[in-house]
Chain A
Amino acid sequence: MLFGRKQKNPIKIADKGVVEWKYAACGYCSTGCSIEVGLNDAGKPIASRGVADADVNRGKLCLKGIFEHELFDSAGRGTEPKMREQWYEPWQNTSWDAALDKTHDEIVRIQEKYGRDSFAIISTGQMLTEEFYTLGKLTRGLIGTNNYDGNTTLCMASAVSGYKRSFGSDGPPGCYEDFEHTDCLIAWGSNLPEQHPIIYWRMKEAQEKKNFTLIVVDPRVTMLAQNAHMHLAITPGTDVVLMNALMHVILDEDLQDMAYIEANTNGFEELKAEVAKYDPVTAAKICGIDEDRIRHVARIFAKSKAAMQIWTMGINQSTHGSDGVVGINNLALITGNIGKAGGTSLSITGQCNAMGTREWSSCSGLPNYRYLENAEDREEIAKFWNVDPEFFPKKRGMFQTDIYHAIESGQIKGLWLIATNPLTSLPNTARIRKAMEKLEFCVVQDCYEDTESAEYAHVYLPAGTWAEKEGVMTNTERRINLVKPLATPPGQAKPDLWVFNRMAERFNTDGKVSFPERAPDIFMEMTEISKGRLADISGMDHELIEKQRGIQWPYTKEQLDKGEMPPAGGKRLYTEDATFRYPDGKAKLIPLPFIDNNEVPDEKFPIWLNTGRLIEHWHGRTKTGKIGNNNKYSPIPFIEINPDLANELGIVRGEYVRLVSRRSDAVVMAQPTQRVAKNAVFLPFHFFDCANRLTLGLLDPHSRQPAYKQSAIRIERITDQVEAARLSMEMRKF
């Protein structure tokens, strides 16, 4: 009141009228933040805030979490089950019974006519673990198709595969607390500030306390790369070469931890023989990092008391994805950087419950990292579920990417799509679209009815989303956290668990297999079969999980009975010698010969196409594309293009350009920036009918994950900008 009016009105500050805060783990990425959602007196979710005493996020949230309460009544939510005879006919609302009966009958018909595996089920990393477990039981135990996979093949399959190859099992060994103890961090193809903002904050907090060396390997100058001590602007797709060269230097200069290698690994000599071929001089010419830097990084990494590596899609989404993960593990193993504070190889996971599906969905095997290939595992689970062990296939079936190829070529005739939208997310959209058209029967179960894939469905089942449901999720650091229902699904929509249970009733007519109705009961069933496994969760229950704001596995019944409470964080795997999951307890050092099978730019398609994420968007934008305070930062697709390249092509800032690959084309807006190399563009993948019209998506031989990040394109200037703008807008329903 120094200046201004003497008589003032009361200060008005928005008061949303929160009367109650309810707990949930965030449903976006795999960081696993704890959220409190504020409800007003009408019970409507109207606010979000970070849970202050949750170890993961310590009160913080990213911009998506901050507006997560707006999800519940966002546009495009499905409210009625729908059916139609042909996908090109208009939808008719129907009852749940009719929709489920129809689905059941079609699954049976197709399996009888074409064989059990001709019906495929593709799920997601978005659901809750109890739902994954139930779907797995239904699929493996009753429906019996072996073509059952999750969309996690698109994001984490290479990490899974790499962990399995190196350690004998999936399961990231590190935790966020490692940032506080490390002396050197290499981030391989991981843009933490944008992809996992809260993990970035944890890292930043640690780095401000203890200025450890941060080395970023990324072809693009991300904020993380820019702020790193060293940025290695690598040639796309050549990470394995750099890894081999780093190991070459370490072994050449005798910087390895021989005691650790001897106690914990097999295959050292074979590895040594292979990396001998990758001297820095040779490697530099392939990966684009000069030999001095290679030597320097190798020395810093090997000499650090504790050195840690993280990676995300830059490694996974490559034809050498699984090899890249193995390479990271090799580096960690030869320097003794696994299972110790600050020394780890930590895959930064993608979806909120990608880990949950890896552990419990039975997609790639049987629950809790059990393998179909292992007779004991089959016996054990069959007995537990009360099904015939012979009903289980003896090896895993197809991955999501291969399933689509089998639909395309006619081996698979029916599909149940759950909470995923392949028409936006799979590479080479045209091929996916053609495959979808061919299906005799497709049922889409999703919380949104406006996903592009629903266009080709015969039945649509409206599902609940995130905190309309109850259950747990596992995050990047193996922390199981709880989601509790704080809203009800709109209209007739039902939680996915309810849908699975109703479907199970139709296949389980003799009532042999038990399908508990409540998530907490299912969780208790899961704890039973986790005993003695790597992911032992037998000490946990929903209540304890909420109380602890998430618990890292393993946490066993024995610990609970001894009165040993789960730690707030800092739990690691493989902390003792020779405790890896191969029978002899030793990890494998696997030699990685490099074969350059990328679609490398050439005369006709001279530009690297690198796809990736933006902080404000979540995957296919079905969620964030409808939330203004997220979407507004990038409402339409764009490329980052080097200004020198733009000048040569006559492209002006803010103009639309046409990107052409050997597959198809896309229209996007040009944002000239020196953030990208002159022979490369960066294109966010979130937008429908855009990035994935262009991508080739060669599959990794081990993980079957597509190489989204290495394709070749050419760029064409568009003369008719008005038409381009119209076209671009036409493709944006949201």
Chain B
Amino acid sequence: MFEVRDNEPEYALLKDPDSKTHNCYDAPIDMVAAGDALHDKSLNINDDSGVGENPNRYKQHGFYFNADNCIACHACEAACSEKNDNPAHIAFRSVGFVEGGTYPEYRRLNISMACNHCDDPVCLKGCPTRAYTKFAEYGAVLQDPDICFGCGYCTWVCPYNAPQLDPIKGQVTKCNMCVDRLEVGLKPACVSACLGNALDFGVIENIPEGRTQAETEIPGFPRTDITQPNIRFQQTNTLERDMTRVDSTAVKYHRDGSGDFQSTLDPKHGFKREWNLRKLRSREDPLVLFTLISQMVVGTFLLMFIGPMIGLEHLTPAAHSTTYSALLFGLLGIESYALFISTMHLGKPQYFYRAFYNLRYSPVSREVASLALFYNLLGAYTLLVTFPFVVTDWFGMSEATLASLSNIAGWATVIAGPVSLFFMHSIYRIKARPFWNHWQVLTSFYGNMFALGGLLVGMVYVSVLFAQGHQFASLLNVAAWLMLGGLILEAFGLWRHAVDMNKQGGEAAASHYIQCSEFGKTYVTRNSGLLLSIALVFIFLLVSPTGVMGLSSLAVIAIVMLATALIGRALFYVLVTPTTMPGAFFWKNKGFQEHARATGLAEMPQVGVVPDSH
């Protein structure tokens, strides 16, 4: 058990003589009923089989933050990092601030935040490996870094930036509520270290001595309806109408008529349209390729399998058996590559199989499982179509059985493909990331599926037919219609997305603002590329060029479409503005982190910014 000194100061001791039965969200504060089997189990901290004697062991605990008092002295952060032996770039707790007013009537509001050990921990649900557990003990949400394989999905879904992805160790770690201290009746290290008498801790809803409020929100704190966080606030000093962030995020907090602060757009970088093509690169580069390739592969297969049924004779396996098989193997090949790079993008790729651990809750698990199914079915279909003799000759099955087998495999693949893309889209429907949390993700993914699928089938078959001297107009016509449909679907989604983001305000509008300013020229280029693609395909359909003309115009369209898709998908990843708490001027400021990486400051470990590895 954690060593308790004989003379631990009063402020470090937990004191919750009484507590309420239900929290403000009407959930019981007792995590489990008395006599439950979960009682009196050891937390097994570092293999210690002791059981803590904390009288409130099975009650939900939480932090209490008196924002009137925080002076941003960083003692909480330091105590946390000292206890958890964290290097400079990892922080389970961080202090950021917002400010408002005009000199000398200026007011700064500091916010110290760690994990809120939420009632509804989205990290736990999102984690594909089930590295997270919400414990009956203290209601602590703990994460096991040994199970974690470093996908970082929890860092996307958490609205508070609590899970910390360490790119060096390739795993996530987070606040552990100092359960070792709780077991022996001590408050967490950060609370005990607080020098402003701002931070406190206890059974949730309990208001510490000398405090009066137990609010669920303060300006700068993300919305609470996503996870029902276990943190309560006091904030009584009157704040300015506008409280601005000092980090680079284009968001401020504006007091509305009811006195509540809403996050709104703060166009702090001006409205100059820039390219910033280099900034399109990010840690998520592999996902740009992975998603686009998978969408193309699914789309291609859909057209290959369904094409013959709508009269595209050329697309029957028999018509061009070598091309058909080669294309199938090609699809398997590029999908293998896509799966490979997305796996290597994990912090610990050797544990890729853990992606299946949380089918019940995690969209990542569902995506991986359904995509794996699609991939395997595609493989089975490919083998059945390419090597029918294996079935007929070696296993002695009839041609009819073979036909129905490949038919079953084909239909199953046709279903699994779009289903996996649906789950792929669900990954991004994250409430804490409003820019992604829009149906446009689905239209984009399905739009690309059609557009890139049609394109690939068109390119391959047109080349083959052209080489063989055949006509390809009918095939190309269908492929082009498919491309047109996909492109229009994506364009429509993007248009509605832009409108909705502006309407939604806050972080959504901030993302759109960055899209229009920092990446303004890139954004215009992508949109033009999309419109150009639509126009070119439309003209193509009207003119129906044949021969060399047809082939080369298709090649031009392909270049425009692929470039547009790449830029568009890269923008999708770099533009997202999460609803996290505000940063400081250097620490937890995305703008400074980018600067430190670009200039090489990040090479000094004491700067606390991990250099780029991509």
Contacts and interface: CB of A to CB of B under 8 A. Distances in A.
- Asked if A and B are interacting partners, one says yes
Contacts of B9: 52, 58-59
Q: Is the interface of A mostly helix, strand, loop or mixed?
A: loop
A444 B324 CA distance: 80
Given A14-B83, A197-B195, A626-B606, A208 B144 contact: no
A443 interface: no
Nearest to B48: A10
A469 interface: no
Contact of B106 (A52, A221, A629): A221
Contacts of B596: 635
Contacts of A1: 38, 41, 133-136
B46 A12 contact: yes
A320 to B, nearest CB: 22
B147 interface: yes
A12 B32 CA distance: 24
A205 B197 contact: yes
B5 A52 contact: yes
B102 to A, nearest CB: 5
B72 A63 contact: no
Query: What size tier do the contact residues of chain A reach?
Result: 35 or more
B268 A653 contact: yes
B44 interface: yes
B108 A226 contact: yes
B81 interface: yes
A615 B584 CA distance: 14
B103 A631 contact: no
B608 A635 contact: yes
Given A9-B144, A725-B595, A62 B195 contact: yes
A53 B7 CA distance: 7
B348 interface: no
A642 interface: yes
A15 B44 CA distance: 14
A208 B196 CA distance: 11
A654 B606 contact: no
Contacts of B84: 13-14
A729 interface: yes
Given A1-B135, A628-B605, A12 B587 contact: no
B418 to A, nearest CB: 30
A35 to B, nearest CB: 12
B130 interface: yes
B266 to A, nearest CB: 11
B248 A13 contact: no
A60 B45 contact: no
A4 B176 contact: no
Contacts of B268: 653
Contact of A3 (B99, B134, B144, B587): B134
B586 interface: yes
A632 B587 CA distance: 7
Interface string A624-646: 01111111111110100010000
B376 to A, nearest CB: 26
Nearest to B8: A52
A59 B12 contact: yes
Interface stretch (A84-92, A134-142, A392-400, A673-681): A673-681
B73 A12 contact: no
Interface string A46-60: 011000110000111
Interface string B570-610: 00000000000000111100011001100111001111110
Contacts of A582: none
Interface string B143-167: 0111100000000000000000000
Nearest to B145: A12
A63 B77 contact: yes
A67 B196 contact: no
A226 B107 contact: yes
Q: Give the interface centre of B78, B107, B136, B248 by most chain A CB atoms within 10 Å.
A: B78
Given A10-B46, A61-B75, A221-B104, A671 B99 contact: no
A512 interface: no
Contacts of A725: 595, 599
Query: What size tier do the contact residues of chain B reach?
Result: 35 or more
Contacts of A208: 197, 210
Contact of B608 (A2, A221, A233, A628): A628
Given A13-B45, A67-B78, A674 B606 contact: no
Given A66-B79, A204-B69, A629-B78, A198 B607 contact: no
B326 to A, nearest CB: 44
A674 B88 contact: no
Contact of A652 (B85, B269, B605): B269
A205 B73 CA distance: 16
A528 B43 CA distance: 58
A66 B45 CA distance: 24
A223 B142 contact: no
B587 A675 contact: no
Contacts of A4: 124, 130, 132-134
Contacts of B101: 674
Q: Give the interface centre of A10, A198, A630, A671 by most chain B CB atoms within 10 Å.
A: A10
B179 A633 contact: no
Given A14-B84, A15-B46, A633 B599 contact: no
A732 B81 CA distance: 25
A287 B103 CA distance: 16
Contacts of B604: 635, 732, 734
Given A48-B82, A63-B78, A632-B586, A5 B130 contact: yes
Contacts of B8: 52, 59
B31 interface: yes
Contacts of B75: 60-63, 66, 197
B44 A10 contact: yes
A11 interface: yes
B92 to A, nearest CB: 11
Contacts of B132: 3-4
Nearest to B95: A633
Given A67-B82, A674-B99, A634 B586 contact: yes
B82 A674 contact: no
Contacts of A197: 71, 73, 75, 195
Given A12-B46, A226-B107, A673-B246, A635 B74 contact: no
A629 B270 CA distance: 33
A626 B121 CA distance: 37
A200 B195 contact: yes
A77 to B, nearest CB: 15
B45 A633 contact: no
Contact of A635 (B43, B100, B601): B601
A113 interface: no
Contact of B136 (A2, A59, A67, A201): A2
A625 B606 contact: yes
Contact of A193 (B5, B103, B196, B595): B196
A204 B196 contact: yes
A8 interface: yes
A67 B180 CA distance: 21
A274 interface: no
B440 interface: no
A538 to B, nearest CB: 29
A684 to B, nearest CB: 12
A293 to B, nearest CB: 12
A128 B585 CA distance: 36
Given A628-B605, A632-B587, A642-B103, A11 B44 contact: yes
Given A10-B46, A197-B71, 12 more contacts: A4-B130, A9-B144, A11-B176, A13-B84, A13-B179, A62-B75, A634-B585, A635-B601, A638-B586, A673-B99, A674-B99, A725-B595
Interface of A: 1-5, 8-16, 47-48, 52-53, 58-63, 66-67, 193-194, 197-198, 200-201, 204-205, 208, 221, 223-227, 231, 233, 615-616, 625-636, 638, 642, 652-654, 671, 673-678, 725-726, 729, 732, 734
7 contacts: A3-B132, A63-B75, A193-B73, A200-B73, A615-B72, A652-B269, A732-B604
The 3 closest A-B pairs by CB, nearest first: A628-B88, A632-B608, A4-B133
